[in-house]
Structure 1
Amino acid sequence: MSDSVLARRVSRRLLFGGGAAGVVGLGGTTAWALNRYVIEHVEGTVTESTTAAPTGTVSDNRYTSASTSLTVEKVSTGSGSDAVTYFVADITTSDATLIRSAFAKDSFGSNIIDYPSTMAAAKNAVLAINGDYYGFRDTGIVVRNGVAYRDKGARQGLALYRDGSMALYDETATSAQRLIDDGVFHTLSFGPGMVADGKAVAGIDAIEIDTNFGNHSIQGDQPRTGVGMIEPGHFLWIVVDGRSTGYSRGVGLPEFAQLFLDRGATLAYNLDGGGSSAMVFDDALVNNPLGRGKERGTSDILYLAG
């Protein structure tokens, strides 16, 4: 692989939530860059069986079952250079463990990616969104489907509990096992938290979630993916398209937080964005990533089982 080809591949992999990636001087570091950003490193496999086919009914933009109701809404505002298009999944369920996570290729590790729609189809998901792209980092607490995969606290995380509640927390002040013991079913490690106690978190327009190469900033108008809670068991998943003039410019973090607040969220958390932002419903990609209608591979999804 030539340095120029490698540079393009690494650049595409580093576009997190608007963080512009620059790859310079790869000639002396090609092997390092391949190992760090391209070559798959499997650290463990997932033995969870494929989720059973949904038992509910899909009608247009709705899904209903004995335990769950879901609507998916497309919203467009503004016009021209100020146009914004986003998708809202409003989920109510009496069984929060139906919200699950899947890893690309059913493997935990770094640089292992697949399309969200492919992962969703493999799990018979009713609905799916991209996750936190845990595989880009080697830090952060990773608990998925009640199993601990990584225990290296580094940033503000999000905990989703078996009882349907959600909470922002400091990863450095706890452990994966303690979280599981307290009833946590999933953790997500990206951020920042945007809404807490029903109010927008101050200063989110200046936060850098990491200082690693290629991911210094998540600011500005960008495609976004986020999860929120109105009350335990009642969730909002929002995906905003962006970087597409006349269709959707994307949104900044304060504006993203307001989308959740406008729908009654008491808590909301930012996930991986940019070209990774994707929503899949009833086996179809419903948003339009970067205005190109094509997904980008990522390491994980959150999904709703039927």
Structure 2
Amino acid sequence: MTMKKPVIVKSQCVVQTILISSSIFGYSIFHDYGISANDQVKSLKVNATKSEILPKTDYSVKTGKSVNGSRMWNTQIKHAKMGVGFPNDEATNDIMSYETVPEFAKRHDLPVVSNASRFSYNATGDAAAEGKAWGERMHDGKVFAQNYKDSYSQYLTLNNDGKTLGSEHNGKKFNNGDYQDVLLGFFPLIENGKAVEEPAVPAKNISILQAQPRQIIYQLNDGSFGLITIGGRYDGDKGATYDEMIAELRKIQNVKFAYNLDGGGSSSTVIDGKMVNPVFDSRTPKGRPVGDFIYFYSDKLADPVNSKLKSTMPEKLTATTKTNADGTAEVIVKKGVTGATVNVKTTDGKKLLGTGKIDSNGHVTIKLEKGLEKSKVNITQVKSGLTSEQLEITLDEATKTDSSSSSEKKDSSSSSSSSSSEKKDSSSSSSSSSSEKKDSSSSSSSVNSKKKESDSSNTSSTSENKNTDSTSKENPDDSSSELRSEKNASESANSDSDTDVSHVKNSESRGKEDNREDRSHKTLSSEEAKELPTKKVPNTGVGKPTWVDKIIVYVRNLLNI
């Protein structure tokens, strides 16, 4: 017994086709919005709690005695990045604000915080009740302070990865993007795993190498961080000399880098909101207010503080130069910072050649003295006490075209005057001819006869007028005037033909547009669907339609949509 084949109704096929095509179409559009197991998004938490900012398993504190018997606290931090914070969460080149380390830690719920740079110094390098950040400073990849610095301190740098510590010499000129952060305490103690020689310090500052309360940051070969606080000036604690700091670091294995932060009464380590060391400044029992902070957070998180920048170093200028015919030079700036002062100096920086202020459009032109042709100069812009990176440029050679162009102008003016006189002559001759026409009718009949002859010889009236004008001049050239008339006639013919062609093209384009409008109301056939025009296809960009689009067209044809 043979079974009959099931009958497939056309309507069922249509329904199935619609369901399949709609599923495929929906997936082609929306599959990118899902997150597959192989493409998980690693989101970084920002508003994390203290335990999430840095898990307790990733930091610990050990207390002990230093080589001279002073109390010492050694905090080790792993799986972390380092951040730099400020009072009011604002990095500025203005007069500084101050805050104690416990206050800053509490405000941001940070588990591990330390003091960092020296601070509040005036232009002579003396401590001041109100002052600016010490030295040249960077935060978030931007230079935000350029102030007094001594001859012996070196910078502490944090690379753009937020993990790698290093140092830079005192004379380093920083540019935006060099580092994530730059701080200034005192000097490095360990570099590349080796002790750094004791720095040369002026006699008046020799106390910084002697026994003082100390705050040290270090980094191991595996990238882990550490903080060492050594007590002094309090309860029998002596502090540590330069050599004693090196001795303490040698007790720790695999120290790759170490740096002496601001110490003395500023030395502060806060763990879980509490100072682990006593306050070493009797004048501030709750801790000395300082100008910046170092904190640590999990390397799986975004920076939980994100201090903003109030002032930043202006960008390097772009400028052009010009040397005038009289020997004076000019510097032209077109994209500067509004209100910034532009200084033009010799390359050694010793002589100021010119200065100016950038206007609201970012422009300024600075005139320089004579005799600087082909000289090299340095150009900077200064805003809020911050100086941009120098632009070295060579002044242009003197332009000699000014005098020649003026002589050309004179020649052109004389030629124009001569031409105007010729026009006057021609006008006088034409007036005389008109008077002759009025006086004698015989002359007018001769003119009419000439016009008839010119018509029979296929010449235009304009060419006859030109010939008439040319006869009023000396040594007329009849052949050249005839050539000009023929050229004018051919050009007018060409213009007429171009006009005809443009009318034809316009009519053809209107016809094409009418055809497009007619086709837009029709349903696409299967043959037309094969050659669909280039269109914007969902999820695949602009290009030829995919097989999904063809299925959609096919379904529409079946349903007569």
Q: What is the TM-score normalised by the length of structure 2?
A: 0.38
Change (3 A) 1:145 1:178: closer
Separation in 1 of the partners of 2:267 and 2:134? 21
Query: Are 1:113 and 2:117 matched, yes or no?
Result: no
Query: Are 1:89 and 2:81 matched, yes or no?
Result: no
Change (3 A) 1:57 1:298: closer
Change (3 A) 1:152 1:178: farther
- 3-state SS of paired residue (1:287): coil
1:169 match: 168
The one-character-per-residue Cα deviations of 1:118-170 (angstroms, maximum 9, x if unpaired) are 01111221100111134435552212344432246955211112432221112
Correspondence list, 1:39-188, <5 A: 52-56=48-52, 63-64=56-57, 69-77=58-66, 82-93=68-79, 95-96=80-81, 99-107=82-90, 108=92, 109-136=94-121, 137=132, 139-151=134-146, 154=149, 155-163=153-161, 164-179=163-178, 184-188=179-183
Separation in 1 of the partners of 2:154 and 2:73? 25
Separation in 2 of the partners of 1:256 and 1:77? 9
Tell me, yes or no, if the aligned pair for 1:195 and 1:261 is still in contact at 8 Å: no
Change (3 A) 1:52 1:295: same
Change (3 A) 1:138 1:290: closer
Tell me, yes or no, if the aligned pair for 1:100 and 1:145 is still in contact at 8 Å: no
Separation in 1 of the partners of 2:287 and 2:98? 12
Separation in 2 of the partners of 1:302 and 1:194? 18
Tell me, yes or no, if the aligned pair for 1:54 and 1:305 is still in contact at 8 Å: no
Separation in 2 of the partners of 1:159 and 1:106? 20
The one-character-per-residue Cα deviations of 1:52-86 (angstroms, maximum 9, x if unpaired) are 3224499xxx823xxxx1111111257xxx53111
Change (3 A) 1:303 1:84: same
Query: Are 1:207 and 2:205 matched, yes or no?
Result: no
1:297 match: 289
Query: Are 1:218 and 2:208 matched, yes or no?
Result: yes
Deviation of 1:273 (Å): 0.8
The one-character-per-residue Cα deviations of 1:20-53 (angstroms, maximum 9, x if unpaired) are xxxxxxxxxxxxxxxxxxxxxxxxxxxxxx9632
Separation in 2 of the partners of 1:232 and 1:168? 18
Could you tell me which runs of 5 or more consecutive residues in structure 2 were left unpaired when the two chains were aligned.
1-45, 122-131, 299-561
2:245 match: 256
Deviation of 1:231 (Å): 2.2
Letter in 1 for 2:264: G
Change (3 A) 1:289 1:303: same
Separation in 1 of the partners of 2:262 and 2:177? 25
Tell me, yes or no, if the aligned pair for 1:87 and 1:239 is still in contact at 8 Å: yes
- 3-state SS of paired residue (1:172): coil
Change (3 A) 1:138 1:102: closer
Separation in 1 of the partners of 2:63 and 2:103? 22
Query: Are 1:266 and 2:256 matched, yes or no?
Result: yes
1:27 match: none
- 3-state SS of paired residue (1:177): coil
Letter in 1 for 2:167: L
In the TM superposition, structure 1's runs of 4+ consecutive aligned residues that sit over 6 Å from their partners are none
Deviation of 1:242 (Å): 0.6
Change (3 A) 1:250 1:186: same
Change (3 A) 1:291 1:151: closer
Change (3 A) 1:77 1:171: closer
Deviation of 1:251 (Å): 0.5
Question: As a proportion of its length, which structure holds more helix?
Answer: 2
Separation in 2 of the partners of 1:57 and 1:169? 30
Higher relative contact order (Cα pairs below 8 Å, separated by 6+ residues): 1
Separation in 2 of the partners of 1:243 and 1:121? 27
Q: Which of structures 1 and 2 has the bigger CA Rg? A: 2
1:237 match: 227
Q: CA RMSD in A?
A: 2.9
Identity of aligned residues (%): 22
Tell me, yes or no, if the aligned pair for 1:130 and 1:276 is still in contact at 8 Å: yes
Separation in 1 of the partners of 2:189 and 2:52? 32
Letter in 2 for 1:148: V
Could you tell me which runs of 5 or more consecutive residues in structure 1 were left unpaired when the two chains were aligned.
1-49
Deviation of 1:297 (Å): 0.9
- 3-state SS of paired residue (1:122): helix
Question: As a proportion of its length, which structure holds more strand?
Answer: 1
Separation in 1 of the partners of 2:201 and 2:105? 31
Tell me, yes or no, if the aligned pair for 2:120 and 2:134 is still in contact at 8 Å: no
Separation in 1 of the partners of 2:280 and 2:247? 22
Separation in 2 of the partners of 1:135 and 1:147? 20
